[in-house]
Amino acid sequence: MALKLIYLVMTRIFAWARLAVQDSTAKNIEMLILRHELAVAQRRDPLLARKLTWADRAWLALLARLLPSGQLPKIRLIVTPSTLLHWHRNLLRRRWAHRSRRQPKPWGGPGAA
């Protein structure tokens, strides 16, 4: 029992030391990620609490990309960092696919419908 207490105290001390040297922007982004994960976990509908919506995935992917490169593996997430990067790639793919669609010219020139 005493060994477990010592272990817990030491892990908290090292976590606080890591936070002390961390950039304030990275801290704020990490807090936003964790707060959103908590909000997902506290949803009243049990089916929604276990499943991330498209908006949840987009928000977490956006925030994960704002973190410095070495920070993402260090924080505890409800999804793996590779999943977040996959979501971000999908968001970018959808954005550029939408932008690359041919739009008809409003003045009725060549290519207008």
CA distance 3 to 10: 11
Whether the CB-CB separation of 33 and 62 falls below 8 Å is answered with no
> Tens digit of pLDDT for each residue in 54-110?
888 888 888 888 888 777 777 777 777 788 788 888 888 887 777 777 666 667 656
106 CB-side CA count, 13 A? 0
In this prediction the pTM is: 0.52
